[in-house]
Copies of this chain bind each other. A is one copy, B any other.
Amino acid sequence: MQIIITGGAGFLGQKLAKALLKNPIEFDELLLVDVIMPGVPHQDERIVCKQVDLSDPGVAETLIRTDTGLIFHLAAILSSHAEKDFDLGWKINLDITKQLLEACRQRKPGIRFIFASSLAVYGGSLPKEVNDTTALTPRSSYGIQKAMGELLVNDYTRKNFVDGRVLRLPTISVRPGKPNLAASSFVSSIIREPLHGEQTICPVDPGLGLWLSSPDTTIANFIHAAQLDPAQLGQWRSINLPGLGVTVREMLNALEKVAGNSAVGLIQFKTDPAINNIVGGWPGQIDNTPALKLGFKADLHFEDVIHQFIESDRSQV
């Protein structure tokens, strides 16, 4: 069986590839594709890396083979970026998703199709408890595009063109590396930069509630989603991945416990209205129950999430 990861050069794509090489799922080839050439995450002859632009006509179809069994569709234009470059957001976040689904339908119906959606599909005036029955009224183009992608995957699944599973990701923290073009980039920066002894800016109010998942937990949930039997899933395939609800203040308290007062002192508060608009509209708490019942996992304490980052940071050096 061939497994495909789109967005294979990204942080999640690379981390997912590494986890798959530990053989939770049997496969013969793991194809990483991205607009920039994906790095080889680990020496393994089953890995193939390709630099392709999935938005070029016909490209999606060239990737799907008769032995393709599983696609992780992670490629995306992130929230702030999609807000600034409206056309690019539509092209990558919606059109490519359609083209990939269509390629599956044409070349090999029934492929397990894992679509990375986001809590950004929620927005506007939300009830106290957001859950699977809450209407999606996103206030960002990224959220709109992801919500439309979810509908697509669900319809292609109903028609048996793919066996889709939509994962609504919480905000991922702590991401390694540099800030990215997600409006939620600060959710990692306010931990990562101080741990590296660097100054950083927090663009939101410390009282803001966030809904988080650590990188390790997120990757474990991706692999779990791919292993679930269709019979375990309902007809509607959009799943709110479990998260950890914390305020920015609670994150900083955890940072202080782990790294001391001086670390927190490196954070400057300076409100950014554009970021506040987007991230402030996301839910800070979502009902975890259905996903936990399906066997997905959540992080329990933000201190543990910080320790996870420190360990993984150390092993990179």
Binding site for B on A (CB under 8 A): 86, 124, 127, 132-139, 141, 144, 147-148, 151-152, 154-155, 158-159, 235-236, 238
Contact = CB atoms under 8 A, between A and B. Distances in A.
Contacts of A86: 159
A159 B138 CA distance: 13
Contacts of A235: 124, 139
Given A132-B135, A136-B135, A124 B236 contact: yes
A154 B158 contact: no
Given A133-B135, A136-B136, A151 B148 contact: yes
A30 B152 CA distance: 35
A155 B151 contact: no
A149 to B, nearest CB: 9
A278 to B, nearest CB: 12
A148 B137 CA distance: 12
A109 to B, nearest CB: 12
A63 B22 CA distance: 57
Given A124-B235, A236-B124, A144 B133 contact: no
Contacts of A147: 151
Contacts of A238: 137
A133 B139 CA distance: 15
Given A124-B236, A235-B124, A154 B136 contact: no
A132 B133 CA distance: 11
A134 B137 contact: no
A158 B124 CA distance: 12
Contacts of A134: 133, 135
Contacts of A158: 139
A151 B135 CA distance: 11
Residue from the set A134, A138, A151, A238 with the largest chain B CB neighbour count within 10 Å: A151
Contact of A154 (B144, B151, B154): B144
Contacts of A139: 158, 235
Nearest to A133: B135
Contacts of A152: 144, 148
Contacts of A124: 235-236
